Structure formats: C-alpha cells, structure tokens
Amino acid sequence: MTYNVARTRSQRKLSGASGGVRSLSLAIVVPVGLTITTIWLGESDTYKNLIRPFWIPPLWAIHLTSVSTTFLMGLSAWLVWAENGFHQSPMAIIMYLAQLGLGLAWNNIFFKTGPTQMGLAVSFGQLVTIFICSQLFSRINPISGDLVKLCLVWTGFLTSINLYYVL
C-alpha cells in the first residue's frame, strides 16, 4: 500500500513537471511564432533602400534581435505566470499582451511602409508598455523583471532608429 501511495505522488510530480514544460513551450512558441510570421510577411525593400548610418544594424540583425527579445518576454511572462502573478496583478497580463501586439504592429508598419510618425507612436507605446511590464513583473519575480529590462533597451534602440528617420 505504501508503495502505491509513493508511486502516485511521484506520478503527480511528473505530470506537474510536464505541465510546466508544456506551458513554458506555449508561452515562448506562440509569441516567437507570431513575430517570425510578421517578419516573414512584412518583408519589403523599404528598409533595405534606406540610407543607414553606421550605428543602424542590417535587417537580419534587427530581425534576429527582435525574435530574441520576444523569446525573453515570453519567458518572463511565464515566470510571472508560474508564480500565479497574473492573478495577483491582472494588469501584468494586459501590459504583456499590449506590448506583444504593439511589437507586431510596429514590425508591419516600419518594415512595410517605412519609418513613419505612426510607427514612431507605436514604438513609443511599446516602450511604455514594456516599462510597465518591467515594473509589474519585478514585483512578482525579480529575474523576470530583469529580463524585461533587456527588452526595454532593445525597444528603446528601435525607437531611436524610427525617430532618426522621422526627424
């Protein structure tokens, strides 16, 4: 009888661990997949034809870093979710989804139509939502908040690129 109880407990731990892996995979694959799809569908020669100063990276570097920051934001959101943080602070999930949507919109605007004032407004909006995510996530999981700060730096850089071309 004791053996069956121990076996049941270990099975429960194993099923909980596999549920964690599934939720982590989902938290990363969905936003990264959306970002890659947006990049793939948003390809145009608009950015390639811009005259770029030395400090503005090539298109492949921007795309690679954007996918990487989307990965980090997904991981951060999962860390918050794993600690039941979205129930403690529902605004955190709203800000996370808002920054994801704004990031996808900015990719379409900037790379299809070029650097416009609309793209700049969307970029500023994303910057603000990521900053709020950083604050909210840090209260729940400090590591998550630190990961979001990396995304904040990258988004600030993209905003400065958009600002350079608009001015």
> Residue type at 126?
Q
- In terms of Cα–Cα distance, which of 118, 98, 101, 119 is closest to 110? 119
3 state DSSP class of 53: coil
Structure pTM?
0.85
Question: Residue 147 and residue 145: Cα distance in Å, rounded?
Answer: 5
Mean pLDDT of 141-164: 96
Mean pLDDT of 138-151: 96
Q: Which pLDDT does position 136 carry in this prediction?
A: 96
Question: Per residue in 80-136, pLDDT tens?
Answer: 999 999 999 999 999 999 999 999 999 989 988 888 899 999 999 999 999 999 999
> Residue type at 121?
A
Question: Residue 36 and residue 24: Cα distance in Å, rounded?
Answer: 18
Question: How far from the centroid of its chain's Cα atoms is residue 162's Cα?
Answer: 19
| Token pair for 14 | 């194993």
Question: Residue 122 and residue 80: Cα distance in Å, rounded?
Answer: 25
Distant-in-sequence contacts of 143-146, Cβ < 8 A, 24+ apart: 143/79, 144/75, 144/76, 144/77, 144/79, 144/80, 145/76
Question: Per residue in 1-57, pLDDT tens?
Answer: 455 555 555 555 544 445 688 899 999 999 999 999 999 987 777 788 888 899 999
Spell out the domain ranges in the chain.
23-166
Whether the Cβ atoms of residue 120 and residue 165 lie closer than 8 Å to each other: no
Q: Which pLDDT does position 14 carry in this prediction?
A: 46
Tell me the C-alpha to C-alpha distance, in Å, between residue 82 and each of 17, 85, 90, 92, 142: 12, 7, 14, 13, 13
Question: Residue 122 and residue 77: Cα distance in Å, rounded?
Answer: 21
